[in-house]
Amino acid sequence: MASYDVIIIGSGPGGYVCAIRCAQLGLKTAVVEGRETLGGTCLNVGCIPSKAMLHATEMLDEAEHNFAEMGLKGKSPSVDWAQMLKYKDKTISQNTGGIEFLFKKNKIEWLKGWGSIPEAGKVKVGEDTHEAKHIIIATGSEVAPLKGVEIDEETVVSSTGALELKKIPKKMVVIGAGVIGLELGSVYSRLGAEVTVVEFLDHITPGQDGEVQKTFQRMLKKQGMEFIMGAAVQSTTVKNGKATVAYKLRKDDSEHTLEADTVLLATGRRPYTEGLGLKEIGVETTDRGMVKTDDNFATSVKGIYAIGDCIAGPMLAHKAEDEGMALAEILAGQKGHVNYGVIPGVIYTHPEVAAVGKTEEALKEEGRKYKVGKFPFMGNARAKANFSGDGFVKIIADAETDRILGAHIIGPMAGDLIHEICVAMEFGAAAEDLARTCHAHPTYSEAVREAALACNDGPIHA
């Protein structure tokens, strides 16, 4: 029986980052992972492969739409689907291999297999039982099922199947206009599929700033995606490799169907803790299967902790990573902490959508007084030159103190631009602080400064 300071179950962004931090802080650490490669959902079937496909198809789109105007002549590239999948797979293995290297470098042991917790202080992997002072559950999430929709990963797929389709569908129906549906829907739309998104609500990307939602949907429509809003999917049926999606419009209960070669179910994910034996040892979970934790990630059983997608909060890789680092620091006797008020969210479509902090809608509900500074990318020289003038930066600041409360960006490199606002928020900055910071010209980030200026005396270029 091997003995450790920490055993982490799951090697996703939560688990592997926690393990590296634990090792750096001098704790003897092992990670249990049942997959053949490390890195969890994110590296194997999530963030990384989806971003590779988004990048490849964005290049294709750029070539098809903008090359001629820039004086770059010649035939647009054609798609070699098998090669594109190979590129995606290589990206995955480079990243998962990287984690294996980091484990060796930090002397972290990989206990291969599926783990369970027979009692506090013990983790069982296959026939072996290991001891640990601290056990961390970092088992992530899985696709939440939808009644009437059976995933076969060929015709009716989850995001995992959508990342390895045998061929590019002619017609694709996406159920759910959330992050996965819009990212992967964009990939296939750019590859030439007719993509129809069926969404239960009357707006896309729930929780996002209302103005961003509208602008984003308009842009996606312009790119060729179709939307059926306020529609509850009832069932999918598959016959001879073709699917029929039945849905009801919420406004009048009328029933409709859509035909498709491929259906992508993207209506959310749920915590995954199967096989751990949590109930038997008394680790409390919510009705939705989330592991209950306190502010220090401790579960209801002493010595057992949980982080990442299997606990409350946004299901994001960087949120899981930050929790992993904070918990490692707590276990090493330091004061680990996650600021949940400043966790950015990014949708990697073209253009990107990024947000941090409060939306106007949330502030209105709280009854708080705020002001808004908005700047369109059309007023940004770099964006205009790069065919990226559509979209805007919106900064929300406290009406009296000018402290930044949130930011919402739709436009070029939004996912990178958001971070200067995150840092500003971490330091409790006012919009004026951002506005008085010199920004290099010509950069997209000047649009952030202009939005900050717009919170007070006004922007220069709009």
Residue given tokens 């992993």 in the structure block: 324
CB of 319 to ligand FAD, least distance (A): 7
- Phi, psi dihedrals of residue 20, rounded to the nearest 5°: -65, -45
- Segment interacting with ligand NAI (CB under 6 A) among 198-206, 270-278, 326-334, 371-379: 198-206
Residues that bind ligand FAD (rule: CB under 6 A) add up to a total of: 36
Alpha-carbon span 124 to 131, nearest angstrom: 9
Q: How many CA atoms lie within 13 A of 103 on its CB side?
A: 24
Residue 110 interacting partner from ligand FAD, ligand NAI, none (CB closer than 5 to 8 Å by kind): none
Cβ 89 to ligand NAI shortest distance, Å: 19
Q: What is the DSSP letter of 46?
A: S
Q: Is 11 in the site for ligand FAD (CB under 6 A)?
A: yes
DSSP conformational letter for 176: -
CB-CB contact of 355 with 407 (8 Å)? yes
Between residues 13 and 459, which has the closer beta carbon with respect to ligand FAD?
A: 13
Residues 92, 146, 311, 425: which binds ligand NAI (CB under 6 A)?
A: 146
Restricted to residues 196-235, the positions that interact with ligand FAD (CB under 6 A) are none
Show contacts with ligand FAD in window 139-198 (CB under 6 A): 139-141, 159, 180
Residue 441 annotated to the active site: yes
Which partner in ligand FAD, ligand NAI, none is near 175 (CB below 5 to 8 A by kind)? ligand NAI
Q: How many helices (H) and strands (E) does the chain have?
A: 14, 22
User: Which of 232, 343, 399, 462 lies at the binding interface for ligand NAI (CB under 6 A)?
Assistant: 232
Question: How do beta strands 392-398 and 3-9 pair?
Answer: unpaired
- The first and second tokens of residue 161, run together, are 């199947």
Applying CB under 6 A, does 269 fall inside the site for ligand NAI? yes
| Residue 249 DSSP SS3 | strand
Given 29, 41, 208, 388, the residue binding ligand FAD (CB under 6 A): 41
Cα gap 407→185, rounded to integer Å: 25
Please state, as a whole number, how many other Cβ atoms lie within 10 Å of the Cβ of residue 46.
Answer: 24
Is residue 198 a contact residue for ligand NAI (CB under 6 A)?
yes
Binds 114, which of ligand NAI, ligand FAD, none (CB < 5 to 8 A, cut-off by type)? ligand FAD
Closest by CA to 373, choosing from 265, 259, 262, 460, is: 460
* Residue of 9, 43, 210, 227 whose CA lies nearest to 122: 9
Kindly provide the residue ranges of all beta strands, DSSP E only, lying in 301-391, ordered along the sequence. 304-306, 345-347, 352-357, 370-376
Residues 255-274 vs ligand FAD: string with x where CB under 6 A? -----------------x--
Site residues (vs ligand FAD, CB under 6 A): 9-15, 32-35, 40-42, 46-47, 50, 114-115, 138-141, 159, 180, 272, 275-276, 308-309, 315-318, 320, 348
Q: Which residues are catalytic?
A: 441
Site residues (vs ligand NAI, CB under 6 A): 146, 175-181, 183, 198-201, 206, 232-233, 266-269, 314-316, 346-348
